[in-house]
Copies of this chain bind each other. A is one copy, B any other.
């Protein structure tokens, strides 16, 4: 969900649990392209992504789609409102999720540390969404894609020698629906960044950041 937040994570590390106590519920494992829940479903548990990537989506009646967030390891998905899900959640890759009972979010009687962690996750989510607003409302296509890649590089980039590499498990259409663009525009913008020599592509699903400074500059609006 926090593929929007610019600063490195100060909160929950991806490989740690949310509480010192052992989790009460077993891990949920899902194959790629599976639904975890749908919009309108009753919320019984919320999940921390332990490995893999999920997608949170909202739909308009006429089929327009907005991807609210991509959930990477460490992220919490499934925050309820009035007891129901208001997005749908699908897996992009094979995924492992740690479920938590909703009651642990709602009160801290049984496990105060877990409760506090879940609350912090909710607050982090609010902060992340505020960044995403700026991106959707006020950035150009190039700035949007550059911001997206920059955040991913910070969160899940892998240093390979001189450069940073990132895997993109999602399609161009997913990226478009996350950034408020069309697939064609996303594709064209990738090509621009490639011609810029800011990035290189290794297949469609692997991006190599060749010039991180330039990427950051483009993300903030230095057109050049």
Interface residue ranges, A against B (CB under 8 Å): 10-11, 58, 60-62, 64-66, 68, 79-82, 86-87, 105-108, 112, 115-116, 119, 122-127, 129-130, 132-134, 136-138, 177, 179-180, 220-221
Q: Is B64 a contact partner of A123 (Cβ separation < 8 A)?
A: no
- A11: which B residues are within 8 A, CB to CB? 82
- A64: which B residues are within 8 A, CB to CB? 134, 138, 221
> Which among B87, B112, B125 is the interface contact of A107 at CB below 8 angstroms?
B112
Q: Is B10 a contact partner of A133 (Cβ separation < 8 A)?
A: no
CA distance A108 to B116 in the complex (A): 10
Task: Using A60-B134, A64-B138, A132-B133 as known contacts, list a sample of 15 further A-B pairs with CB atoms less than 8 Å apart, ordered by residue number in A.
Answer: A10-B82, A58-B130, A58-B133, A60-B221, A64-B134, A66-B134, A80-B123, A81-B124, A107-B116, A108-B108, A122-B122, A122-B126, A126-B126, A126-B129, A136-B180
Q: Is A127 a contact partner of B81 (Cβ separation < 8 A)?
A: yes
CB closest residue in chain B, given A180: B137
Q: Is A86 a contact partner of B130 (Cβ separation < 8 A)?
A: yes
Q: Is A138 a contact partner of B107 (Cβ separation < 8 A)?
A: no
Q: Is A133 a contact partner of B66 (Cβ separation < 8 A)?
A: yes
